[in-house]
Amino acid sequence: MNKKAFYHLSYGVYLCTSWDEGRPVGCVANSAMQITSSPATLAVSLNHDNYTNKCVGDTGYFSVCVLAEDCDPKLIGKFGFFTSREKDKFADFPWKVRGKLPVPDGALCWFACKVIDKMETSTHTVFLGEVMDADILAEGTPMTYAYYHKVLKGKTAANAPTYQAEEKSGGRYVCRICKYEYSGDVPFEQLPDDWVCPVCGAPKSRFEKL
Amino acid sequence: MNKKAFYHLSYGVYLCTSWDEGRPVGCVANSAMQITSSPATLAVSLNHDNYTNKCVGDTGYFSVCVLAEDCDPKLIGKFGFFTSREKDKFADFPWKVRGKLPVPDGALCWFACKVIDKMETSTHTVFLGEVMDADILAEGTPMTYAYYHKVLKGKTAANAPTYQAEEKSGGRYVCRICKYEYSGDVPFEQLPDDWVCPVCGAPKSRFEKL
């Protein structure tokens, strides 16, 4: 099997949010898609290890928020590389309740969904949600997973369906927080002291040389 | 609900193929995504009205073939707007058996999958397939659904999950075969006589004025 074929599948970059006893929770998801148009339903795939998976299962509700190409990269850093089990991911970002679910202000649009079915796999749950409400918050271009990888040089969280172990190899300087691997044209040592990780916002001092 | 939000979800453009008693069948799918990485599984959503849905259910096998931005648009026209129930969609294209499934030569890459689970909805079946084999056939950029709509001005088949009834409105000249609506800069009447529908390849005479 040529595993590079998996890089040719096209995805967006989304936040999936829910509630944990009144506390907003969420994580990055790239595997989300519309399943039926009338009634409108969306499927989203979440790793069993994601705390958001547990919360969606417990509450029966989730949102899918579409991120724009020019969204605050800290949204991806915070929601993609930390866990809601330990951290209030919403603390650093303005957010509102929309369609009864927490939605960060930086989202391009959102879908509020009620779980109507699910399919279990060895590592992920595919939740099928009926879309109760949806709206567009801003103009912009939806970020694709290809854009995230090619333009933002973003990395894949180890519990994403699209994670491939090969991604671990190579590189010179890696962020200890989010594992972002620096690949800019300027040598890392010459970056200014106030330079921060473009993904999670960690300072330059949190990078380690491989 | 703002239905335009659904246009912000990102998809690829795929062919999903299978067998019907030794005869190759297939249809266009845009709702396909990786669910787990080890073992690698893919989910694909197919309308109950798609003959390919029946064949995937009967045989327990399907392929997902990724189309490139510069693929032969007739592939989309033939596989997206006809039915394998009545037509041999593979007749006009060279194809080979790859990973035990029929794959048109024009595909960028392919995944051969064995159905291990499925989830039924009101109009679509979500098949979960374990990827038995996969390979890349050519270099190229995978076509996204956004590219298909914006650059190729492609239309959505009525039984696609992403179909919105609003798409039916407006326009001046529409292909009777695939419902492609002409929107080029040159007035339709001034197009050369050998101009053909960019989606399904139908001659100019098969267009009707709205």
- Total residues belonging to chain B: 210
**Predicted confidence (pLDDT) per residue in A22-67, tens digit:** 999 999 998 899 988 888 999 999 999 899 999 999 999 999 999 9
* ipTM field: 0.74
Q: What is the mean pLDDT of residues B152-165?
A: 64
What would the two tokens of residue A145 be? 């997973």
Q: Which residues of B touch A5 (CB under 8 A)?
A: 66, 109-111, 134-136
Contact: B134, A161; criterion CB under 8 Å: no
Q: Answer for the pair B33, B184: CB distance below 8 angstroms, yes or no.
A: no
Kindly indicate the confidence band of residue A154, based on its pLDDT and cuts at 50, 70 and 90: low
pLDDT for A185 equals 66
Contact: B37, A123; criterion CB under 8 Å: yes
Q: What is the mean pLDDT of residues B87-95?
A: 90
Q: Which residues of A touch B33 (CB under 8 A)?
A: 9, 11, 31-33, 45, 161
Give CA–CA dist B87/A6, Å, rounded. 30
- Please name the member of B134, B145, B146 whose beta carbon is closest to the beta carbon of A5: B134
Kindly indicate the confidence band of residue B170, based on its pLDDT and cuts at 50, 70 and 90: very low
- Total residues belonging to chain A: 210
Count of CA atoms in the C-beta half-sphere (13 A) of B196: 10
pLDDT for B112 equals 97
- Please name the member of B12, B36, B119 whose beta carbon is closest to the beta carbon of A123: B36
Quick check: helix, strand or coil at residue B69? Answer: coil
Radius of gyration of chain B (CA): 17
Indicate the residue type of B137: L
